[in-house]
Structure 1
Amino acid sequence: MKKLSRAVIKIFLALCLSVSLPAASIGDSNVPEMQDGKISLTLRDVSIAEVMEMLSRAGHVNILLSDSVEGKVSVNLYDMGIDQAIRSIATSAGYAVERRNGNYFIVDRSDAGKSEPGGPTQVRTYKVQYSDAEVVAGIIKNHLSTYGQVATMPERRLLIVEDTPYFHGRIKSLLAKLDREPKQIMIEARILEVGLKDSESFGLDWAAIFESGDAQIGTQGLSSPGSPGLFFDLIKPDVTLVLDALRKRDRLRTLSTPKLLALEGQEAETIIGDRLGYNVTTTIDSVTTTSTEFLESGVILRVKPSVDEQNRIFLEIHPEVSTGSVSQDGVPNQSTTEVTTSMLVESGQTVFIGGLIKRTSEQIRDGVPVLGDLPVLGALFSNRSLSSVNTELVVLITPYIVDNDKVRLDGGKVERVNQVAAELEEQPRDIAENLDKLDYFEDILVTDVEDL
């Protein structure tokens, strides 16, 4: 009997040992600790559900898994935020993460967006009318959902966006702010040339004129050799009087009065001068090609306007005065005076730029009348000398903000005028045809009268 009892006990113990015990649930001892909001975790072939449970307990966040989420993952994280850890693990396993009301939802990619506001993802196109499509796409990319994406067609200025209707609404609102119709600025410029005397070789002292307004124009001119140089300021009535006085003394002449229409953020340019051509030879793999390039010299004015919220105009101004030449060997040479500055002005205010000195050489021929013009012998009765001529360029820039609505209205008027003009052009043809008919009937009447 004792032997039987011992046998029964052995069999019972063997059965107990042969049965697999269920895996222990994750306890607090298995939950990794967060340090400074970061988590470090190393796991091998662990159920994604268990990993998400660990992250949920460690970060004290709610993580919900759909029925289709399954499988095992291997994880090796180091100092990663809980949000990034959840998204990284779910993405590596082929799932999408949705965040709603502070909770994380792990779903299959095919189901992504179905529970988002507005329903599943949709593909829509957006036309970028005024801005750079690539730049706008880069901004919009940061405002899409976790599974939204954007592509561009720069040549057609199109954005192709895939996202939920809710985010499409946000994109449309954002695009309306980014892709606004740019303002147009009319830039009126006056480029003047002031003749300088020998004592004014460094230019006029515009700073003194602007500060005191009592500069005298006499035999000594307006020179103050102690403070020459480039000068920028807003125009004042005293300066206008000085310019008028210089004009009356034939020391001031107008070189050009260009008017430029520029979009805000776009550069406008006017060039008054010469384009000197020279040949450039290039040799590549024993193949020599010759092309012609041009050296621009003279007065070059570049203006880049922009408009702030108070409708003030910010001007980036770059005036340049240069002289150029091409040697007999075809080598271009250029001497340039240029400066770049910025000013903030109201619409209609005039910016004054002075101090741009231009030095040129002129050949002067003096001689005895008639005798000096004789061939060969004329050289004995004439003299040639080289004289240096100094001039100062003054640039006046007046920007105006153009009312786009008024331009569109005026455009409608122009269209109507063109229509009326076309109708008037047709009237002479109609009159000519009627005259031809009258001549025809007149001939018939004359014939009938003669027959009578």
Structure 2
Amino acid sequence: MYRPLPPRISVDELIQESLDRSNAVNSGDEHYVQPILEDEVIVDNGHWENGAWVESNVVPTDAPYGSGLIDTALDPHVASIDDGIRISEEFIETDVREVLMMLTTEANLDLVMDDNVGGIVNAQINDLLVDEAIEKVLMPLGLSHARRGDQVIVAPPDPSSPLFSYISVRKDYRPLHIDSRALMETVPASWLQYVTSIESAKILMVHAPPRITDDIISRFASIDQPIPQVVLEAIICVVSPDCGFQFGLDWQHAVELDGAKSLALGATGLALNGTVSGEGMNQIFSEFSSTSTFVKLLNEHGYLTIRASPHVMAKDGEQANIAINRETFFSVQPPGTTGNNAVFFQQDIQKVDAGITLDITPHIRGDVVTIDIEKAEVSEDVRTANNELSVNPFPVINRRSVSTTVSVKDGKTIVIGGLVQRETIDRVNRVPGLSRLPGVGYLFQSTQRQTRDAEVVIFISPRIVRSEGS
């Protein structure tokens, strides 16, 4: 409904107004402003009283719509309007339509009801405002109402109802941290009809009665929190059998901390003897900084070889993958493409990986990280180590893998050992000078191929990285 506008000006006056504005713009006078319809407003309800237009629930025409989570500009719902009328009634086994007509008539309000409104009311109303009384009556029946000026609209919260748009509001929620599909899983099944997920825009649109809309939006906001992440630091090293060192059983070495031996082991014949302090073991192999320093020192002195020291960040509950692999390609000819009867030649190239693979999923529980090691695998192509298999056109892969679940405190270290990897080493012995003679140099050199099994040891340390507010 619109307020009556002022009398329309004549065409001559409009022409003169246009000329004045054009001259003002051309002369640079930016202060010449005379907006048309500057007092126009949209009203939900109004009436003439004593020769004047009386408005209620005025909404300005320039009010923003669709900005933010709550569209308050066109929200017609008022929690409770104090009309100065308070109601005290008692209803026993009374039809809800009759009750609504009695309440609205007593408050001098117009009533608009959906055809599906029905039910029996048993309620006692003591000195309540009209909107509060109507809400108390409708609450047990699962019905909703909205107030538009002097109109009370009652309908079931069903999107198929023709009055649904009058009793509902729309709010849009844009997830910041959690995937929209995960948020949809938190909505009760009976409320899914009110939520629309727009995947391309990453927006969840909620269109429902105000109470349900606020509940769903509040549910989304409480769940959509920053997700803590875990930095997984790893050291992958190889211990050769001829280096004289084994993790946990070092036959000839001792570790000293603060001038005192913390770890000393030795063997005489078949007798094993040694000493170890609890503090020493805790200091060396608990904190990753101490562990990494110790392992790097062993690498510098030739006791082991560090293959890689990767760092990877993973979200809580999401998988991280670390792979140090060698790709081997081989060809496959489908049946019917070989032989004298073959008309077309077809060849497919396949790939197989061999090396070291880690599939890890961290789960944060306070300051403890549960690491689900889905696969810790060591593999190699044995054709390079076996002359009998070298003529085989297809790769032969030996795989050794473990899977486990371990809980460790933030920053501590876990160790995976016992994974054996077969290494092939070619030792070339040459006679200096003579081995480089052209044509006969090969007579003064020999190549010896050695195959040995080396132990792969993996150190993993999780470190929790919490975002602000998580």
TM-score band w.r.t. shorter chain: 0.5 to 0.7
**In the alignment, what sits opposite 1:216?**
265
Contact (CA 8 Å) 1:121, 1:163: kept in 2 or not? Answer: yes
State the 1:344 CA deviation: 1.9
Instruction: Map Cα deviations across residues 332-374 of structure 1 (whole Å, 9 max, x no partner).
Output: 4422222222222222112222222111222333354444555
Aligned to 2:453: 390
The separation in 2 between residues aligned to 1:268 and 1:156, in whole angstroms, is 28
Q: 1:104 maps to which residue?
A: 141
Partner of 1:167: 212
SS of the residue aligned with 1:186? strand
Q: Secondary structure at the match of 1:182?
A: coil
Work out the CA distance in 1 between the residues paired with 2:118 and 2:346.
58
Which of 344, 360, 364 in structure 2 is aligned with 1:307? 364
Task: Quote the offset at 1:140 in angstroms.
Answer: 0.9
Alignment of 1:417-436 (within 5 A): none
Structure-1 separation of matches of 2:141 and 2:291: 70
1:405–1:241 CA distance, 2 compared to 1 (3 A): closer
Corresponding residue SS for 1:139: coil
8 Å CA contact retained: 1:63, 1:106: no
Indicate the SS of the match to 2:265: coil
For the pair 1:250 / 2:319, whether they are aligned, the reply is: no
Cα separation, 2, equivalents of 1:170 and 1:406: 22
Please give the alpha-carbon distance, in whole angstroms, between the structure 1 residues aligned to 2:317 and 2:442: 59
Contact 1:188 1:259 in 2 (8 A): yes
Aligned residue identity for 2:213: H
Q: Distance in 2 between matches of 1:311 and 1:351?
A: 16
Q: Are the counterparts in 1 of residues 239 and 304 from structure 2 also a CA contact under 8 Å?
A: yes
Q: Is the 8 A contact 1:143 1:171 kept in 2?
A: no
Q: Which residue of 2 aligns with 1:444?
A: none
Do 1:314 and 1:344's aligned partners in 2 also have CA atoms closer than 8 Å?
Answer: yes
The TM-score, its normalising length taken from structure 1, stands at 0.52
Alignment match, 1:151: 196
Closer, same or farther in 2 for the Cα pair 1:96/1:273, shift >3 Å? farther
Q: Is the 8 A contact 2:143 2:156 kept in 1?
A: no
Letter in 1 for 2:371: L
Deviations 1:372-421 (A, max 9, x none): 555554555444332112222222222222242499xxxxxxxxxxxxxx
Provide the identity percentage.
19
Residues 40-89 of structure 1: CA deviation (Å, up to 9, x unaligned): xxxxxxxxxxxxxxxxxxxxx9795647xxxxxxxxxxxxxxxxxxxxxx
Distance in 2 between residues matched to 1:96 and 1:252, nearest whole Å: 82
Structure 1 residue 218: Cα displacement: 7.5
Q: 2:224 aligns with which of 179, 186, 211?
A: 179
How many residues of Structure 1 are paired with residues of Structure 2 in the alignment?
303
Amino acid at match of 1:266: E
8 Å CA contact 1:264, 1:307 repeated in 2? yes
How far is 1:191 from its partner?
1.7
- Change in CA separation of 1:264 and 1:239 when aligned onto 2, cut-off 3 Å: closer
Deviations 1:412-433 (A, max 9, x none): xxxxxxxxxxxxxxxxxxxxxx
2:167 is aligned with 1:120 = yes
Please tell me the residue identity of whatever aligns with 1:174: R
Alignment partners' CA distance in 2, 1:280 and 1:179: 50
Q: CA deviation at 1:322?
A: 1.8
Query: Residue type of the partner of 2:372?
Result: E
**Alignment-derived partner of residue 257 in structure 2:** none
Which moved further from structure 2: 94-103 or 126-135? Answer: 94-103
Inter-partner Cα distance in structure 2 for 1:330 and 1:63: 88
RMSD between superposed Cα atoms in Å: 5.1
Change (3 A) 1:160 1:219: farther
Distance 2:469 2:154 in 1: 52
Secondary structure class of the residue paired with 2:167: coil
Offset of residue 182 of structure 1: 0.9
Q: Over residues 254-277 of structure 1, what are the superposed CA-to-partner deviations in whole Å (9 max), with x where a residue is unaligned?
A: 222222222222222232232334
Asked whether 1:357 is paired with 2:409, we answer: no
Query: Do residues 335 (structure 1) and 398 (structure 2) align?
Result: yes
Q: Which has the higher helix share?
A: 1
Structure 2 match to 1:235:
285
Q: 2 CA distance for matches of 1:215 and 1:346?
A: 27
Q: 1:194 to 1:292 in 2, by over 3 A?
A: same
CA distance in 2, matches of 1:97, 1:264: 49
TM-score under structure 2 length normalisation = 0.51
Hey, what does 1:321 align to over in structure 2?
A: 378
TM-aligned CA distance change 1:290 to 1:135, over 3 Å: farther
Tell whether 2:180 aligns with 1:133: yes
Unaligned residue ranges in structure 2 (runs of 5+): 1-91, 99-114, 121-135, 146-152, 159-165, 255-261, 274-281, 336-342, 384-389
Flag the structure with larger Rg. Answer: 1
